[in-house]
Amino acid sequence: MWLFFSRMTDLFDGKEKRVLHIAPEECLEGRLKARLGDGYVTADLLDPRAMVQMDITDIQYPDESFDAIYCSHVLEHVQEDRQALKEFHRVLKRGGWAIVLVPITAERTCEDCSIADPSERERVFGQEDHVRRYGPDYLYRLREAGFEVRVNRVSDLCGEDEVVRMGLTAASGAIYCCTKASSLRLPRPE
């Protein structure tokens, strides 16, 4: 992700930004805080390490509060993932971007809200606290929330020599870079 942030975004361009990092990974949190300063906000529903305790289906910030959002491997734990995506879109500034990653482990997204037993969730969704398995159709959920989406792969970040040197593979997964249009789009006249 650091490589993506450095090469494919404006995150480190020196301009002041407000960045929301959901369920912050320790390996990124300190480095992002050092680079972004007071504009960097971490949030989590349960982790007391986060700066803000927050339910991502009901984000307490006003519309267009953040220039960027980073959320990795969280939505598969959230019952109302579509609502969370709408909230990300709402709090993202026009012209802003969000990276919202999920594990793609199925041919097509499968979910069943009636499954509550942890062992049954593990059997069906691959982990006892997951509520769904995503497939490549995840892209459509992002678009449904209002985002324009560009799917980036390892080959978009670097050449073959760097892939080998850094130990990256095609299995590293897709990075879904979601943007909020910088202007309102009016419907085309009929």
Q: Would you list the DSSP string of 57-122?
A: TS--SPTT-EEEEEEES-GGG-TTHHHHHHHHHHHEEEEEEEEEE--B-SSS-EE-TT---HHHHH
* pLDDT of 183 over the 80 cut: no
Residue of 35, 77, 32, 70 whose CA lies nearest to 55: 77
122-148, pLDDT tens digit by residue? 999 999 999 999 999 999 999 999 999
Query: What does the pLDDT average to over 71-83?
Result: 96
189 falls within a domain: no
Question: Which pLDDT does position 172 carry in this prediction?
Answer: 65
* pLDDT of 10 over the 50 cut: yes
Q: Which two tokens stand for residue 13?
A: 């361009």
Q: Evaluate whether 16 touches 93 at the Cβ level (below 8 Å).
A: no
184 falls within a domain: no
Report the percentage of the chain scoring pLDDT > 70: 93
Domain count, the chain: 1
147 falls within a domain: yes
186 falls within a domain: no
**Helix, coil or strand: residue 136:** coil
d(CA 86, CA 92): 10
190 falls within a domain: no
Query: What does the pLDDT average to over 100-109?
Result: 94
Indicate the burial class of 181 (C-beta count within 10 angstroms; 0-12, 13-18, 19 or more): exposed
110-129, pLDDT tens digit by residue? 999 899 999 999 999 999 99
157 falls within a domain: yes
Question: Which pLDDT does position 190 carry in this prediction?
Answer: 45
Question: Which pLDDT does position 189 carry in this prediction?
Answer: 43
* pLDDT of 17 over the 80 cut: yes
Query: In CATH, what number is assigned to the domain containing residue 62?
Result: 3.40.50.150
d(CA 152, CA 80): 25
Residue type, 11: L
* Residues in CB range of 95: below 8 A, 6 or more apart: 179, 180, 181, 182
* Residues in CB range of 140: below 8 A, 6 or more apart: none
Question: Which pLDDT does position 12 carry in this prediction?
Answer: 96
* pLDDT of 74 over the 60 cut: yes
39-51, pLDDT tens digit by residue? 999 999 999 999 9
Question: Which pLDDT does position 186 carry in this prediction?
Answer: 42
Q: Name the pLDDT band for 164 (thresholds 50, 70, 90).
A: confident
Question: Which pLDDT does position 188 carry in this prediction?
Answer: 44
Q: Evaluate whether 141 touches 81 at the Cβ level (below 8 Å).
A: yes
Q: Name the pLDDT band for 155 (thresholds 50, 70, 90).
A: confident
81 falls within a domain: yes
62 falls within a domain: yes
Domain membership of residue 155 as a residue range? 2-179
